[in-house]
Structure 1
Amino acid sequence: MEIYVKSRGFAQEEGYCWLPETPSILTLNRVTDCIQTESPSLVLGRYSGRLLLLITGLEARGRTDFRDRTIRNSIAWVAEDSAPHEQQLRAIAVRALRTFLEEKKDGLDAEIDQAIPVGGTDGFTVNCELLKGLSASATLPNHPQKSDREREEHSTDKLAKNCDRTKETLATQLEQYGLPQREGPLVVVTGIKSKDALIQARVWRGLSKSVEEEDWTPIRERQDAPNFPGEAFQPEKKFNETATLVAGIVAIGMLFLGFLWF
């Protein structure tokens, strides 16, 4: 499993950057397009045979920049798509969600910040051993097998307002159920992001402060959603296809009338 950290140092020239490097899975799939990165946000998804858990907007403890602004940490876990890795990343995501709503002094954000000490050419370094230990210790509780009805209900894509109650119910769902077997950002939790943006991203569970519904609402129509990651919806194409079909029907009708005339 690969772990990447984004933070910054105090000095003006020590701006935000990823260590050891920018994860290619983020740029290739434009993962951050579906979240507000400066707020506490989370993306858990599947991309080309790899699993990604991205957590952003975690406040550093006692570290500020040259303008006395609180530094925010981001972290990404990337692993091969397998059942053990999925369970591990779901367990970390559960901890992150409960950290978001409880703001514990010893929460996940504090453990991550502890692994990002000051120093180095970028103004911060990364204690990889601490982060590996944090990842290895993440486990999920055992739950009884679910009924067919519960599994069917759970498979429906849903959105809700980002609040403490929905974050807790999402954490419980991630403890009890596996992720859908499809590509893209499956779980998204963020600040200000429109409902349409989450629908276009084809999320399975999405929380945003811009969504008005405080209860989980099924997404039943996806006519505007792309069929594949990165594929844009093209209304012009659908219009052209419809126009071609209508023209064909008119032409056939005219030929038929001409045949009757003669």
Structure 2
Amino acid sequence: MMEKMIFGRYVPAESPLHRMDPRSKLLMVFFFVCIVFLANNTMTYVILGIFTLVLIILSKIPFRFLYNGLKPVFWLILFTLFLHVFFTKEGEVLYSIAGLDIYEGGVRQGLFISLRFTYLILITSLLTLTTTPISITDGMEQLLNPFKKLKMPVHELALMMSISLRFIPTIMEETDKIMKAQAARGVDFSSGPIKDRIKSIVPLLVPLFVSAFKRAEELAIAMEARGYRGGEGRTKYRRLRWQTVDSLLIVSLLAVTVLLVIFRT
């Protein structure tokens, strides 16, 4: 399961995207999530696809690795596609299957929504794949600094979000171990009535929650033992540096936004 899980993982590499300032990548992800909803036709989705492909190439992350990472959510994307194909009734009727009419608008809308999910997953995954958790924390804290005037615990909030991202692969690995242990004891997660499958999840959830709380307690004790008292008065060993390539990333994102507005119907 771990080799199929890409979100929350960091893959060391020497690439332009790895060397970028985490603040520029965080801003890129935030604005990409916003502008992806501007796409509503083939041309706009092609523009988003080219932008995503360029970032993947710059990250030097193998395509096969990303493909394997999409497998866990492939069924969700496929379900969304079929949902629109069979229930969206727009445009001309293309086929009729067992009394169900498949419309041109349903197929088009299903493909567009599936592409939107795929782009969002890839872009957000590239953030964690090319940025260490500590860099994400520093970048998030820097971006949220203006909210300190509103008495917002910026450092603690950034640290909490970074730890959450970091522990996603760990929890998935723990889930995999517990599932294998329960399967060795005769628990069947993949067959039988729905009622029995739901009951079989209980032996999985209880040890998973116990393990998660135990890890959280161990992390809190370790932080206290190292003298962690929050972000007030703390200095940083690594300084964030905004470079020309970071400005180019933001400018390219603005250019993509302009193109989406121009070609949007």
State TM-score, norm by structure 2.
0.20
Higher helix share: 2
User: 1 or 2 for the larger relative contact order (CA 8 Å, sep ≥6)?
Assistant: 2
TM-score scaled by structure 1? 0.20
Higher strand share: 1
